[in-house]
């Protein structure tokens, strides 16, 4: 435990970290050679100076990247020369140490500036614009020593230490507040930009079926139900579309009762309900039994009893045949809703939820395995690099060998990383919502606009807008609107804008509280 007032000792660096691959460079603490310019000990190809100093050869090396970027010289070419002299021995070295010895400031990174100016190297840039026109200085760090007053300063006042420390603390607070203020100001600026939903188009057809605009909501209700519970009800693929097509083709259903898809689906659901309620009904498509059973269920629920009084179902199927497509669809959706309270359907929902949880667990396990695989691959690649170096008895790799190894590392690492990201994508967000759960709108506006993304609607951009008009009336006018594929970015921007606005409102409320 450190005593108060005592400086904590810095942690010791690892003296032999081994072989590492970082940022496209192979670091090797044992076999690597240190570049005089960047002072990194890597397995990059280096050019060694051939100059003699006091009967000994100069020990300075320059890696191929520094040599080409800072001085415009090719390392492999100069390495073949018997009389090549390094920039340091020539007195033109622009590394930070050598510049400081000459009374100049370090230049910092100038490679990009040199290339942007059309020059081959940093050395040429310094030669043209002057060696003293570039200066990079690190920001001084405030430490305990710098805060102490100097004994040789006659202007120093007692208590300077405390004042300096307090000023530093105040500055730190101001900087912290300014950063938060900038972030908040940026968010406010984004929110001030009023994002707008693109103009929607009235829905006149769904899945290629022409329907009345006012019936779009009822059609989507049926499609969502069949999409979620089609497997549990043993429905054929496209059966919901067949039902809607029969309802709205030629304005009336022309098929015989026993071949009518809507009646077959109705009977399937009525049987489910009657079994659950122990009604002991025998339903058939060839008589009035199913229609009579439907009347009994409506009478029990009292949901549609005003619109479909009991006497409607005493007349027989002939009364059903007089109904238009809208009323028939309303009856079918009613039976769909009633079936959800049955034991069989509740069990189906429970089963789907359990399956979703199991799938999420498997997805998380795959993500963890993929992450571990990526980690192991990285270690394996570093081992492969070490083996490649050992085969050359510690000799530096040529640029071609170096690039070949890096290409292999990048390719295999990318494959492992992509596999991990794919596995993570399976677990993105919170627990996945099962299909049996009620579909929730993406956004509900005060002006009666509701934005949806339904499972049953696959046409791009997959967004639907429900316009309920005003909420004042008991039965508001409803209209469903679709969007063009090119509207997708605008819709996503609008959703993002609205969510940021809600977050900002909540944040302001918390601050005021």
Q: Which helix (DSSP H) or strand (DSSP E) does residue 195 occupy?
A: none
Least confident of 86-90, 189-193, 214-218, 271-275: 189-193
For the chain, give the mean pLDDT: 79
> In the prediction, which pLDDT does 124 show?
94
Residue 330 to residues 89, 205, 213, 222, 338, Cα–Cα distance (Å) = 92, 18, 15, 10, 12
Q: Is residue 143 pLDDT above 70, yes or no?
A: no
> In the prediction, which pLDDT does 134 show?
84
| Residue 372 to residue 416: CA distance in whole angstroms | 10
> In the prediction, which pLDDT does 182 show?
54
Cβ pair 202, 481 in contact under 8 A: yes
Report angle CA 103, 107, 111 to the nearest 5 degrees: 150
> In the prediction, which pLDDT does 440 show?
87
Indicate the pLDDT class of residue 140, thresholds 50, 70 and 90. Answer: low
Strand order in the sheet with 449-452: 201-202, 479-482, 464-467, 449-452, 443-444
pLDDT digits (tens, 9 = 90+) for 221-255: 999 999 999 988 999 999 999 999 999 975 444 44
Q: What is the 3-state secondary structure (H, E, C) of 414-437?
A: HHHHHHHHHHHHHCCCCCCCCCCC
Indicate the pLDDT class of residue 12, thresholds 50, 70 and 90. Answer: low
> In the prediction, which pLDDT does 178 show?
53
Burial of 396 (0-12, 13-18, 19+ CB in 10 A): buried
Indicate the pLDDT class of residue 386, thresholds 50, 70 and 90. Answer: low
> In the prediction, which pLDDT does 137 show?
67
Cβ pair 99, 81 in contact under 8 A: no
Mean pLDDT of the region 414-425 = 69
Q: Is residue 377 pLDDT above 60, yes or no?
A: yes
In this prediction the pTM is 0.55
pLDDT digits (tens, 9 = 90+) for 428-483: 444 455 666 678 899 988 888 999 999 889 888 999 999 987 655 444 568 999 99
Encoded tokens for 54: 């006091």
The torsion of the CA quartet 88, 91, 95, 100, rounded to 10 degrees, works out to 120
Helical ranges in 130-260 per DSSP H:
144-147, 160-192, 216-229, 239-248
| Residue 193 to residue 443: CA distance in whole angstroms | 19
> In the prediction, which pLDDT does 85 show?
95
Residue 124 dihedral angles phi and psi, to the nearest 5°: -65, -35
């Amino acid at each position: 435990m450190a005593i108060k007032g005592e400086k904590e000792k810095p942690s010791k660096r690892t003296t032999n970290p081994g072989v590492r691959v970082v940022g496209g460079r192979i670091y090797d603490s044992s076999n690597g050679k240190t570049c005089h310019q960047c002072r990194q000990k890597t397995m990059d190809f280096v050019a060694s100076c051939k100059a003699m100093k006091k009967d000994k050869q100069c020990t300075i090396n320059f890696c191929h990247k520094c040599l080409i970027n800072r001085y415009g010289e090719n390392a492999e070419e100069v390495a073949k020369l018997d009389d090549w002299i390094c920039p340091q021995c020539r007195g033109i070295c622009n590394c930070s140490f050598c510049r400081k010895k000459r009374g100049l400031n370090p230049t910092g990174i100038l490679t990009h500036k040199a290339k942007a100016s059309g020059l081959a190297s940093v050395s040429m840039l310094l030669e043209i614009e002057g060696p003293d026109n570039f200066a990079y200085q690190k920001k001084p760090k405030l430490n305990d020593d710098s805060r102490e007053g100097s004994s040789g300063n006659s202007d120093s006042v007692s208590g300077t230490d405390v004042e300096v420390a307090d000023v530093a603390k105040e500055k730190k607070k101001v900087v912290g507040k300014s950063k938060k203020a900038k972030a908040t100001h940026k968010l406010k600026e984004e929110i001030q930009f009023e994002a707008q939903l693109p103009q929607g188009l009235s829905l006149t057809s769904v899945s290629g079926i022409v329907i009345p605009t006012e019936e779009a909501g009822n059609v989507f209700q049926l499609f969502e139900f069949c999409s979620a519970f089609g497997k549990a009800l043993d429905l054929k693929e496209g059966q919901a579309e067949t039902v809607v097509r029969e309802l709205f083709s030629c304005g009336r259903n022309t098929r015989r009762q026993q071949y009518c898809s809507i009646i077959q689906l109705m009977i399937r659901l009525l049987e489910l309900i009657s079994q659950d309620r122990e009604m002991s009904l025998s339903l058939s498509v060839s008589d009035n039994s199913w229609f009579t059973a439907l009347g009994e269920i409506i009478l029990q629920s009292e949901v549609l009893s005003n619109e479909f009084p009991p006497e409607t179902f005493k007349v027989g199927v002939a009364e059903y045949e007089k109904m238009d497509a809208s009323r028939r669809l309303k009856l079918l959706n009613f039976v769909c809703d009633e079936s959800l309270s049955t034991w069989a359907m509740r069990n189906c929902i429970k089963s789907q939820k359990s399956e979703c949880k199991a799938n999420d667990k498997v997805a998380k396990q795959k993500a963890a395995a993929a992450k571990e695989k990526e980690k192991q691959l990285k270690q394996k690649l570093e081992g492969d690099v070490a083996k490649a170096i050992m085969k050359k008895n510690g000799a530096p790799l040529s640029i071609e060998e170096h690039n070949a190894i890096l290409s292999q590392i990048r390719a295999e690492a990318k494959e492992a990383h992509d596999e991990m990201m794919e596995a993570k994508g399976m677990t993105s967000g919170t627990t996945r919502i099962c299909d049996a759960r009620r579909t929730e709108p993406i956004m509900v506006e005060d002006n009666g606009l509701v934005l949806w993304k339904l499972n049953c609607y696959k046409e791009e951009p997959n967004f639907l807008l429900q316009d309920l008009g005003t909420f004042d009336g008991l039965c508001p006018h409803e209209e469903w609107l679709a969007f063009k594929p090119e509207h997708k970015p605008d819709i996503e921007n609008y959703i993002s804008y609205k969510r940021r606005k809600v977050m900002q409102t909540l944040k302001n409320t918390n601050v005021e509280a």
